[in-house]
Amino acid sequence: MSQAHERPTLEAVARLAGVSRATVSRVVNGSPKVAEPIRSAVRRAVEELGYIPNAAARSLVTQRTDSIALVLPESASRVFSDDPFFPSIIHGVSQELDAADKQLVLMMTNTVAGYERVERYTTARHVDGVLFASTHGVDPLPGQLARLGVPVVVTGRPLGRSAVPYVDVDHVGGVRAAVRHLLETGHSRIATIAGPQDMVAGIDRLAGYRAELRGSDRRSIVAVGDFTRESGATAMRQLLEDDPLLDAVFVASDLMAHGAITTLRELGRRIPEDVAVVGFDDFDISRYTDPPLTTVRQPILELGRELARQLLRVIAGEEVPAAVVLPTELVVRASA
Amino acid sequence: MSQAHERPTLEAVARLAGVSRATVSRVVNGSPKVAEPIRSAVRRAVEELGYIPNAAARSLVTQRTDSIALVLPESASRVFSDDPFFPSIIHGVSQELDAADKQLVLMMTNTVAGYERVERYTTARHVDGVLFASTHGVDPLPGQLARLGVPVVVTGRPLGRSAVPYVDVDHVGGVRAAVRHLLETGHSRIATIAGPQDMVAGIDRLAGYRAELRGSDRRSIVAVGDFTRESGATAMRQLLEDDPLLDAVFVASDLMAHGAITTLRELGRRIPEDVAVVGFDDFDISRYTDPPLTTVRQPILELGRELARQLLRVIAGEEVPAAVVLPTELVVRASA
DNA sequence: TCTCATCCTGAAAGCGCTCTCACGTGCGGC
DNA sequence: GCCGCACGTGAGAGCGCTTTCAGGATGAGA
């Protein structure tokens, strides 16, 4: 099938250049202690043979693999088709790793077996470090790996205590700005559709809503969804049963906000005249809903990039902060 | 930082089990020619030490890496946030590779430098095979790699001739079904918003439209977009200028269809009463547009899975068909 | 009882690379 | 003119694994 199975080795280059393997290795790895004429002779030989170092051999001795794993949780499977969160994370991580010339190994653990594979793979040091785009519950794996000495960084403040550095966005700040906006624009009955309360994003966003409302004399009206569009639609219905006179709703995700808008439409409420709606995420689609959605933007791409950057620092042995929190920002459009 | 740098080696297991390295290796790799008592003794030692084979060392001798690369083109960068195509491909590929216990190395080449990296990386046999989710133009890299003996499979019928096996969906069949539906429901002026004509998806879908219309006495009315929402909106406007009386439009992607719907709305046309709209893709969001979009479903997840399966076959040395074409299906909703 | 095939097992040779040492050179300083 | 010191370079020892090959047991057949 191929004539190229015979890839040139260091040995071959060394012979052609008339030097030793050690010298070729030095040149290839940019060691400064090789005299110029020899250096260029080696370069020429490398060029001529199209020599490319064998990664396996190199890893074997250096103990580095120059690749890092990004682990996506079980739910990614479901979430993938509709929610740009994971794609954006991947994209951000990829950008940063590309720049650092590291490989991205993607692991989706949608089964128990998968979880085990991840564990095996990562503890076996097949990668230099592990990134968790973990959003759900309390995952023991990151801490476990960290304890084994594997560099680890996760997205999202871990529930429970954890010594693993994380990168997250300022959920509370963003939500407070959103609710404040609602208050300032004269709304008095402000409800919320919260996210799942086993996820930090769900918990923190609800906390932000409560915190901001506490400063006013408004009472809180809460329904809980699971970040899907359907759950948003259902929750909205429930909210309106609880308080038919509510005039605003902060929805903890754009997808749920879309669902809520659908419900509001069906029930004949005008947006924002009858009910103002604010989402959270600022997905691309939210610009195209009717009306365009006022929402809290979280920098997901940047989250991915920062995630990768932190891990690269850990791998390099630098100190990293226990937490990096990226700012969120209220984007006012027509829905509130 | 860690006490675990000392991972057990074959040697350690061998000592503990009182056998040679060779025997441990055989047990670990499931060779049948090890007597039962010894086999279980080794198993116990492996268990006790938590032994995990070192991938680099193994690769070095076996010449396999058990990982495969998925290369996403430049445009992925732009496309990622809004278009579930790539995420679904990734997801499908990942599922299949997980099952085969292979690692997925993701490479996004958004720069010329990136392209070179991909080339270096893949020709260096750091992976057992390469998948291209290539959709754009004529990419020489797949063919080049194939010629070097690297197993390669691509998505989408390659433009120009190519010896590389590919997996694609039945664009023409799906489009014809869509246009036929439009004809059968009594539409007489059926326009199309085509995709970019340097992409197979764009070309084939336009061809399908033309082919089906040729059987009727209707004339074709064509505008071209680039698969983005914005371009769909613009193209729709143009189409209406060309023929204000058109009563149906087949749009070559759901995203463009959403754009087209926006335009139709703005211009006061009712859907489907005044203008029927059919899309192509069946993205999740299309179920939630107003009205829900009639569209041609292409099985993207399955495309990814099939892609991976084909590559695994190539790697295993099996014969694979030059092309696998997956069926598409018209999904009738309210917009046509 | 001897031969021979059969079945396991271990010794050892690498896979391609990095990196420590030791070993020349060539030079300045005394 | 000799010593010592940089400075470069090469020899060689592995990194942890697989796999060939040879050889020791074992049991069947004669």
- Residues A298-329 have pLDDT tens digits of 999 999 999 999 999 999 989 999 999 999 99
Tell me which residue in A7, A88, A258 faces B288 most closely, judged by beta carbons.
Answer: A258
Shortest alpha-carbon distance between residue B55 and chain A (Å): 6
Shortest alpha-carbon distance between residue A188 and chain B (Å): 30
CB–CB of B294/B331 below 8 Å?
yes
Please list the ranges in chain B whose pLDDT falls under 50: 1-5
CB–CB of A105/A99 below 8 Å?
no
Contact: A60, B56; criterion CB under 8 Å: yes
Within an 8 Å CB–CB cutoff, is residue B163 touching chain A? Answer: no
3-class secondary structure per residue, chain A: CCCCCCCCCHHHHHHHHCCCHHHHHHHHCCCCCCCHHHHHHHHHHHHHHCCCCCHHHHHHHHCCCCEEEEEECCCHHHHCCCCCHHHHHHHHHHHHHHHCCCEEEEEECCCHHHHHHHHHHHHCCCCCEEEECCCECCCHHHHHHHHCCCCEEEECCCCCCCCCCEEEECHHHHHHHHHHHHHHCCCCCEEEEECCCCEHHHHHHHHHHHHHHHCCCCCCEEEECCCCHHHHHHHHHHHHHHCCCCCEEEECCHHHHHHHHHHHHHCCCCCCCCCEEEEEECCHHHHCCCCCCEEEECCHHHHHHHHHHHHHHHHCCCCCCCEEEECCEEECCCCC
**Phi and psi of A279, rounded to 5°?**
-105, -165
CA of B68 to C1' of D20 (A): 29
CA of A130 to C1' of C18 (A): 25
Beta strand B103-108 pairing with A103-108: antiparallel
CB–CB of A252/A205 below 8 Å?
yes
Mutate to test the interface with A, among B49, B54, B262, B315 (most CBs of A within 10 A): B54
- Within 272-311 of B, beta carbons closer than 8 Å to A belong to 283-285, 288, 290, 301
What is the dihedral angle through the alpha carbons of B312, B315, B319, B320, rounded to the nearest 10 degrees?
40
Tell me which residue in A7, A229, A283 faces B125 most closely, judged by beta carbons.
Answer: A7
- Within 76-95 of A, beta carbons closer than 8 Å to B belong to 76-77, 80-82, 84, 86-88, 90-91, 94-95
Nearest CA in chain A to B108: A94
Closest CA to A280 of A136, A147, A174: A174
Residue A131 CB partners (closer than 8 Å, separation 6+):
A68, A69, A70, A71, A93, A152, A153, A154, A155, A307, A308, A311
Shortest alpha-carbon distance between residue A229 and chain B (Å): 9
Q: Is B107 helix (H, G, I), strand (E, B) or coil?
A: strand
Q: What is the pLDDT of residue A126?
A: 85
CA of A316 to C1' of D6 (A): 31
CA B249-B253-B257 angle, to 5 degrees, is: 50
Q: Is B103 helix (H, G, I), strand (E, B) or coil?
A: strand
- Tell me the C-alpha distance between A87 and A81, whole Å: 10
CB–CB of B194/B252 below 8 Å?
yes
Nearest CA in chain A to B127: A55
Within an 8 Å CB–CB cutoff, is residue A231 touching chain B? Answer: no
CB–CB of A202/A281 below 8 Å?
no
- Tell me the C-alpha distance between A206 and A211, whole Å: 9
CA of B8 to C1' of C21 (A): 28
Tell me which residue in B5, B59, B88 faces A56 most closely, judged by beta carbons.
Answer: B59
Give the residues across from B276 on adjacent strands: B248
- Tell me the C-alpha distance between B334 and A251, whole Å: 28
Q: Could you list the beta-strand ranges (E) of chain B.
A: 67-72, 103-108, 129-132, 152-155, 166-169, 190-194, 221-224, 248-251, 276-281, 294-297, 323-326, 329-331
Q: Is B101 helix (H, G, I), strand (E, B) or coil?
A: coil
Task: Show pLDDT as tens, one digit a residue, over chain A (336 residues).
Answer: 334 446 889 999 999 999 999 999 999 998 888 888 889 999 999 999 989 899 899 999 998 999 999 998 765 555 566 678 888 899 899 989 988 989 999 988 766 666 778 888 887 778 999 999 876 767 888 888 888 888 999 999 988 778 899 999 999 999 999 999 999 999 999 999 999 998 899 999 999 999 999 988 888 999 999 998 999 999 999 999 999 999 999 999 999 999 999 999 999 999 999 999 999 999 988 998 889 999 999 999 999 999 999 999 999 989 999 999 999 999 999 999
The answer to whether B42 CB sits below 7 Å from nucleic acid chain C is: no
- Within 117-136 of B, beta carbons closer than 8 Å to A belong to 117, 120-121, 123-126
| pLDDT tens per residue, range B75-99 | 555 556 677 888 889 989 998 998 8
How distant is the alpha carbon of residue A261 from its chain centre?
A: 27
Closest CA to A87 of B123, B247, B88, B73: B88
CA of B37 to C1' of C13 (A): 28
C-alpha distances out from residue B132 to B28, B140, B142, B304, Å: 33, 11, 7, 10
- Tell me the C-alpha distance between B142 and B139, whole Å: 7
Shortest CA to C1' contact from A20: nucleotide: D10
Give the residues across from A249 on adjacent strands: A191, A277
Shortest alpha-carbon distance between residue A19 and chain B (Å): 23
CA of B61 to C1' of D28 (A): 39
CA of B38 to C1' of C7 (A): 14
What is the dihedral angle through the alpha carbons of A7, A9, A13, A15, rounded to the nearest 10 degrees?
-110
Work out how many CB contacts closer than 8 A connect A with B: 143
Residue B318 CB partners (closer than 8 Å, separation 6+):
none
- Tell me the C-alpha distance between B77 and A230, whole Å: 29
Judging contacts by C-beta atoms under 8 Å, the chain B residues touching residue A84 are: 80-82, 87
Judging contacts by C-beta atoms under 8 Å, the chain A residues touching residue B87 are: 80-81, 84, 86-87
Contact: B107, A106; criterion CB under 8 Å: no
Tell me which residue in B77, B98, B103 faces A105 most closely, judged by beta carbons.
Answer: B103
What domains sit in chain A, N to C, each tagged with a CATH number?
A: 10-53 (1.10.260.40), 67-169+301-326 (3.40.50.2300), 171-297 (3.40.50.2300)
Helix-helix angle B21-28:B36-49, to 10 degrees:
90
Mutate to test the interface with A, among B103, B115, B303 (most CBs of A within 10 A): B103
Closest CA to B274 of B237, B248, B300: B248
**DSSP run (H or E) holding B180:** helix B171-184
The answer to whether A65 CB sits below 7 Å from nucleic acid chain D is: no
Closest CA to B159 of B141, B137, B142: B137
For residue A184 the two structure tokens come to 């300032």
Mutate to test the interface with B, among A59, A67, A90, A91 (most CBs of B within 10 A): A91
